[in-house]
């Protein structure tokens, strides 16, 4: 039986001493065909030199297992905020951190960086949108890689920018580097922002009209702890939230999304072994009720 073409995996840790090699081992162990990681702690910008991360070892392990590197993505640290520019020093710090981060992504042999647009804390949403476009242009002007940015759709918590397709589209259209900016759809964020995630056809039609489907670079596949429109952003395990297994399985199986890497960012109930179980269920299309009880 030919295996279905499916690029599905999870967010994975990268920890010393095995670093990237260890991350790649975990991906195989969990049955993943795509994954995402941070190049360092997501809450700060301290970074270990690439030479200490066992990248060569990781990449040759991936090659031995015919793992598609094009389906591996990096997530930028969430403290990077391009939307707020009231503090010129921190704006410059965010830009130069991202320039370095692009170099790191390329150093792993990868081409996709997921980025939160940021929060407009001291400015209007429109100013925030303009700031993000300007910040991205400053980064890309100084960048010598071919890394693409995937701007993530957000739940609309607080002053978050990117709470709907329109805001993301405005950022892209204001940028001078539109060809290097795409989109990451997060099912939990979409739901919490008020979109109907169950209406996949409707969402994809609207995405196609706004961006063109080619701009869809990454999907974050999460259930949500909260109701549609709650603006909360609390991820839930597959099948335990308000989105539900059958909808998420529809996203996994849709042929229009076949080439897009799908990444779980669900809560690890005691152990990230939960990813292995969630992936197996989504792959088979068979839901195992109360599966999480075995991990608690
Ligand atoms: Fe994210
Ligand atoms: Fe996400
Ligand atoms: Zn989230």
**CATH label of the domain that carries residue 43:** 3.20.20.150
Give the residue ranges of DSSP H helices in the chain: 19-29, 55-64, 88-107, 125-142, 165-174, 187-193, 200-210, 245-253, 274-284
Distance 116 CA to ligand 1 centre (A): 6
The total number of structural domains in the chain stands at: 1
Distance 60 CA to ligand 3 centre (A): 32
Q: What is the pTM of this model?
A: 0.96
How many Å apart are CA 179 and CA 177, to the nearest integer? 5
296 within domain boundaries: no
pLDDT tens-digit series, residues 37-60: 999 998 888 899 999 999 999 999
Give residue 3's pLDDT: 55
- H/E stretch holding 243 reads none
Distance 115 CA to ligand 1 centre (A): 7
Give residue 56's pLDDT: 98
295 within domain boundaries: no
Q: Flag residues of the chain having pLDDT under 50.
A: 1-2
Give residue 1's pLDDT: 42
210 within domain boundaries: yes
Structural domain containing residue 153: 3-287
Distance 235 CA to ligand 3 centre (A): 6
Residue 186 CA: which ligand is closest? 2
Give residue 2's pLDDT: 45
293 within domain boundaries: no
pLDDT tens-digit series, residues 261-272: 999 999 998 888
Give residue 50's pLDDT: 97
């Amino acid at each position: 039986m030919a295996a279905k073409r499916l690029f599905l995996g999870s967010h994975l840790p990268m920890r010393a001493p095995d670093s990237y090699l260890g991350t790649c081992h975990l991906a195989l162990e969990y049955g993943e065909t795509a994954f995402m990681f941070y190049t360092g702690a997501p809450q700060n910008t301290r970074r270990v030199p690439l030479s200490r991360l066992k990248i060569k070892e990781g990449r040759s392990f991936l090659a031995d297992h015919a793992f598609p590197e094009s389906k591996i993505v990096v997530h930028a640290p969430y403290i990077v905020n391009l939307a707020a520019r009231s503090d010129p020093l921190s704006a410059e710090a965010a830009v130069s951190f991202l320039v370095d981060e692009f170099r790191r992504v390329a150093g792993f042999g990868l081409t996709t960086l997921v980025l939160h647009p940021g929060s407009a804390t001291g400015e209007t949403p429109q100013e925030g949108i303009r700031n993000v476009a300007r910040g991205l242009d400053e980064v890309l002007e100084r960048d010598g890689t071919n890394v693409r940015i995937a701007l993530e759709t957000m739940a609309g918590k607080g002053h978050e920018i990117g709470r709907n397709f329109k805001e993301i589209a405005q950022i892209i259209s204001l940028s001078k580097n539109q060809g290097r900016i795409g989109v990451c759809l997060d099912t939990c964020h979409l739901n919490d922002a008020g979109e109907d995630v169950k209406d996949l056809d409707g969402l994809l039609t609207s995405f196609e009209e706004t961006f063109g489907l080619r701009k869809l670079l990454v999907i974050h596949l999460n259930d949500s702890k909260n109701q549609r429109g709650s603006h909360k952003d609390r991820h839930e395990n597959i099948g335990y939230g308000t989105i539900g297994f059958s909808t998420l399985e529809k996203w996994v199986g849709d042929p229009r999304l076949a080439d897009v890497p799908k990444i779980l960012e669900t809560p690890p109930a005691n152990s990230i072994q939960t990813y292995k179980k969630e992936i197996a269920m989504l792959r088979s299309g068979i839901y195992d009720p109360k599966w999480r009880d075995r991990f608690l």
